[in-house]
Structure 1
Amino acid sequence: MVNIILCDDEVESLQRTQDEIERIKTRLPYPVEVITYTDTDYLMERINNRELESDILIIDVDMPKMSGLDIAKYIRQNKLDIVIIFLTGHDEYVYSSFEFSPLRYIRKEFIKEELLYALIAACNNVDTKKNEYILIKAIDGNYHIKTSEILYYQMENRRCNVYLADGCVFFTKYKIKELRKIVEEKDDAFVQVNSGCVVGLRHIRFMSKGDIGLEQDKIFQISRRKKTEVEKIVMNYWEDRR
């Protein structure tokens, strides 16, 4: 299931877009669920509080309270994993939207011609495994966590510790091979960079000179034995999400 947020302050325009999604939804790669907003304040409140499970945001660029560009800027600054599609009746906004890395730009007058292909591309860009959960048995109890939130896990003092993107750490008794099996049965977006460390492909920010850099300024050395394999896996992952 792919979750789509549709935000447009013009009720008639929002309804047209929603109707078009309903018309084409059987032609999309995944089932979709649509949530609509006309009030940008309420949308921002929910985004701020991390209350939305959103994969794709289709948003009108030109709105009175808060523009679609402002909301896109907030999403990018906070590194939220949302595919953005801009919707507008004004072509002059196209160039000013590029800095927010929208996937597509749809003109309202061509909604029937452009929406289907934009949503197919967006669905293919969405990481459909990001909401997978696993049970982690830690020393201080059991935890239900999203695989997409795992920044990396590594062996430390004979135990495998799990580090999340929000800074949480879980101290487990697993060996790295055991934990890899648990994680990768649900989600294969991980790569082992050396004998003691596995990193989340979603969180890699650079790869250079035998090192791999993640969010939170974490840098790990890629073992020489794994260098070719790791580089291939990372580059394929990045290419698939272009």
Structure 2
Amino acid sequence: MKDIHIVICDDEVSAVKLVKERLCFILNPLIHFTCYEFTDPLEVVKLSKDIRIDLLLIDIEMPGVKGFDVVKEIRVHNHQLLVIFVSNMDMYVYESLKFQPFRFIRKSHLNELNEALVSAATAIKNNMETFKIPVNPVTDKEVIVNDIIYFESLHNNVKVVLAGSSYVFRSTLKIIEKQLESKRFVRVHSGFLINLKYVYLIKGTVVEVNCGEAVISLPLSRSRRNNLIFEYKMSLR
């Protein structure tokens, strides 16, 4: 597993230090990570262009640049970013929902950070799980499970589709479905296994999936429709 990169940003040095101490105490026994500390939010944006940030703990109201603007900038090229807003500004709670934060922690209730960090560590490890694609008899290509949009059955082969790329290899959907059990993949048709993360719309006998810049339609069996809807609702929790 690659190193996990965690960033703490607050214009107050004391706040950064306090969050860092709690973070190290909670996460050191759970995961191996590198922690970066900033008081300038623009430095966080700059860092994000050089490394992939896995978890960002950031204040909202800072001189010059808001935490919201930092998250928006990073998310352009890092959709897997987990964000925990750490702020005393309760009025921003609802506005923060637009940025799909992992948590919103008030500085006056910093003890709530304990559970948030443990849950974030679990989510990050899940995000980093890989799937091996046998691109030829002697070489496997590792891809992030969460980057896989769907699998399509092609007789004795399977095509795996990711944003901007696809691969065909020898296997069956039955085997892959077993390998990815409990990983939010659902069989929607005898020929398709999809990642619930990319579901855009369920309509009649069609399920639309988000493939980066395009939305494509895949067939949905009537007998599998109710199960897809159930699993999709569960995944939203």
With the shorter chain as reference, the TM-score category is 0.7 to 0.9
Say yes or no: does 1:198 pair with 2:193.
yes
**Aligned-partner Cα distance in 2 for 1:151–1:220:** 12
Q: Which residue of 2 aligns with 1:67?
A: 66
Q: Which residue of 2 aligns with 1:57?
A: 56
Code of the aligned partner of 1:136? I
Q: Which residue of 1 aligns with 2:206?
A: 211
Code of the aligned partner of 1:13? A
Q: Counterpart of 2:125 in 1: which secondary structure?
A: coil
Whichever structure has more strand as a proportion of its residues is: 2
Code of the aligned partner of 1:220? L
The alignment-based identity, stated in percent, is 24
Contact 1:83–1:102 (8 Å) recurs in 2: yes
Task: State TM-score, norm by structure 2.
Answer: 0.79
Aligned-residue offset at 1:25: 4.8
Aligned-residue offset at 1:134: 2.7
Pick closer, same or farther for the CA change 1:218–1:78 going to 2, 3 Å.
Answer: farther
Aligned-residue offset at 1:122: 4.4
Give the number of equivalent residue pairs: 230
Find runs of 4+ consecutive structure 1 residues off by over 6 angstroms. Answer: none
**Aligned-partner Cα distance in 1 for 2:140–2:26:** 42
Instruction: Map 1:164-203 onto structure 2 (within 5 A).
Output: 164-165=162-163, 167-181=164-178, 183-184=179-180, 188-203=183-198
Code of the aligned partner of 1:37? E
Contact 1:151–1:200 (8 Å) recurs in 2: yes
| Structure 2 residue ranges without an equivalent (≥5) | none
Contact 2:7–2:53 (8 Å) recurs in 1: no
Pick closer, same or farther for the CA change 1:132–1:102 going to 2, 3 Å.
Answer: closer
Contact 1:134–1:146 (8 Å) recurs in 2: yes
1:77-102 per-residue CA deviation (whole Å, 9 max, x = no partner) reads 55612332212244444454332233
Q: Counterpart of 1:218 in 2: which secondary structure?
A: strand
Contact 1:153–1:160 (8 Å) recurs in 2: yes
Contact 1:8–1:59 (8 Å) recurs in 2: yes
Task: State TM-score, norm by structure 1.
Answer: 0.78
**Aligned-partner Cα distance in 2 for 1:146–1:96:** 31
Q: Counterpart of 1:226 in 2: which secondary structure?
A: helix
**Aligned-partner Cα distance in 2 for 1:178–1:122:** 30
Contact 2:42–2:70 (8 Å) recurs in 1: no
Aligned-residue offset at 1:235: 1.9
Contact 1:133–1:146 (8 Å) recurs in 2: yes
Pick closer, same or farther for the CA change 1:103–1:148 going to 2, 3 Å.
Answer: closer
Instruction: Map 1:1-242 onto structure 2 (within 5 A).
Output: 4-25=6-27, 31=31, 33=33, 35-38=35-38, 39-49=40-50, 51-54=51-54, 56-76=55-75, 80-111=79-110, 113-120=111-118, 122=120, 126=123, 128-139=125-136, 142-156=140-154, 158-165=156-163, 167-181=164-178, 183-184=179-180, 188-216=183-211, 217-239=215-237
**Aligned-partner Cα distance in 2 for 1:53–1:36:** 10
**Aligned-partner Cα distance in 2 for 1:164–1:45:** 27
Aligned-residue offset at 1:34: 5.6
